[in-house]
Each structure stands twice: as C-alpha cells, then as structure tokens.
Structure 1
Amino acid sequence: MSIFSKIACGEIPSYKCAESEKFYAFLDINPLQKGHTLVIPRREVDYIFDMEDDDIAEFQVFAKRVAKAIKKAFPCIKVGQAVLGLEVPHAHIHLIPMQSEKDMIFSNPKLSLSQEEFEEIARKIRENFE
C-alpha cells in the first residue's frame, strides 16, 4: 500500500481539501505555492496512463473541480497541473496556483508553513469546493 493510499484511507493524517468516493485531494506538505494540492485516485495505480479511460476522465473532472476551488481560495492567473509520478508509486496530479510559469518549477525552494497555515489553506479550498 502506497503512502498516498494510507493518506486517502486516513491511516496517515493529511490536510484534506476535497474528496469523493473515487478521489481524494490534499495539500502537498512541501508546497511550491500556498494552495499546492495533490489529487489522487483512491484505487492505487502507479502510472496515470495505466488508468482505464473512464477513470482517467473522471479523475480529470474531479481535479478540475479542485482547481476551481483553489482559484477561488487563492486568486491567481491560472492553476497549473503537473503529472510527474516518480516520487510516489501512486498516480497523482499536482495543482498549483500560478502567477507565472516560474511558479511551476519543482526545483524552486519549497514554502515552509506552520500547521495552522496548512489547516487554514485546506479549509479555504474545502469551503470553495463544489
């Protein structure tokens, strides 16, 4: 079971932003920007492009809803999407509020946030999730 599966089922704590029966969204604990969120399928699959067509379509629609909530909570030009997938063997989408393309450079220094800041960020996204 991957660390993301353990997060999705509540075995490991996370800053939950949104969830459905099939998907779970939570804050990245090493964020590039405030609002940097990870979206995962609850069913563990290593490689996003190994997902069934219907599942990946639903995954993207769920991620779109999360991105809209992020944009409302953290006004930005766009919410960027990245699929890297090498660091954890569980398909996931990074959603990152962007003012410029530089905000999506993963080698940039990560933000250092307090637990209270993470909780407030997650709450704002949850409140805007529809």
Structure 2
Amino acid sequence: MASLFSRIIAGELPGRFVWQDDEVVCFLTIAPLRPGHTLVVPRREIDKWTDLPGELLGKVMSVAQVIGQAVERAWDAPRSGLAIAGFEVLHCHVHVTPIWDMTDLELSNIKPETVAAELDQAAVRLRAALRDLGQGQFVPED
C-alpha cells in the first residue's frame, strides 16, 4: 500500500507544494512547529533516511538546504532547523522549519489544528522566497 506521502505526491490527497523536481518534492506539513514548517520528501518510497542511496540522500539534503534558506528569508528567522525522525509516516522525510531558539524544535509545540488559511499563506510566502532565491523553476504556481 502506498504511503500517505506517496498519495500526496500522486495527487490523490491534497498537499501545499512549494518545490517539485524529478526526485524530490517539498510541501508544508499540516501540523507545523512554526509557520513555514516544510517536509522534504524523496519521490521514491523509502522508509528510512539511512536506506536512501547516497546520491538521493545528497539531493534531499541539497533541497533541504535551499528550503532552509527560504524559510529564514520568508520569516526573517536567524536560523532554520532540520530534523529527521520518520516515525509518523514510513516514507523518508526531512523537517525544515524557521527557528529562533532550540525550543522551536520541540515536538510538543506542534500545532495540529492549524487553520487552512494560515497554511495557504505560509505556502505563498515560502514560494515567493524560493523564487527570490532563483529557484523559480522548481516552484509550483500558487
């Protein structure tokens, strides 16, 4: 059975995509730590990041770096945080979020009932920041 993320990638379930290329997609999580909390996901359904082929792992991390730069720009954050856990969905994904201090990475801060309009606005801001960074060819239309 396809993972939740494979179903989002296939368009079977909705997703707020901010990046799409042949190997990696990025979309906002529906339960963010902070506005702009983005998931970087390989299209290939591989459970653990430690099982990714080296080249694909490198691509995921390269895209995560660009997303990190974009969330810092879009939210004027001093840093972006990155986390890999993988227990929620058994399809490798990297969490990238703007942070101001270490407490911004605490999972107890997740906001599972975030209003759809807030998520939509965060997607618009992040897409604009990615375009400003010269990454427009990977950014889907708003």
Give me the TM-score of the superposition, normalised by structure 1: 0.94
**What pairs with 1:46-85 in structure 2 (closer than 5 Å)?**
46-85=47-86
Match of 1:106 in 2: 107
Q: CA deviation at 1:107?
A: 1.9
* Aligned pairs, number: 130
Could you list the per-position Cα deviations for residues 95-116 of structure 1 after superposition, in whole angstroms to 9, with x for gaps in the alignment?
A: 0110000000012252643222
| 1:73-101 Cα deviation digits (max 9, x unpaired) | 11111100000001110000000110000
Partner of 1:31: 32
SS at match of 2:59: helix
Q: Contact 1:33 / 1:111 at 8 angstroms: preserved in 2?
A: no
Contact 1:83 1:92 in 2 (8 A): yes
**Alpha-carbon shift at residue 61 of structure 1 (Å):** 0.4
Partner deviation per Cα, 1:42-64 (whole Å, 9 max, x = no partner): 01000011011111011100111
TM-score (norm 2): 0.87
Deviation above 3 Å: which 4+ runs of structure 1?
A: none
Unaligned runs of 5+ in 2: 136-142
Structure 1: gaps (5+ residues) = none
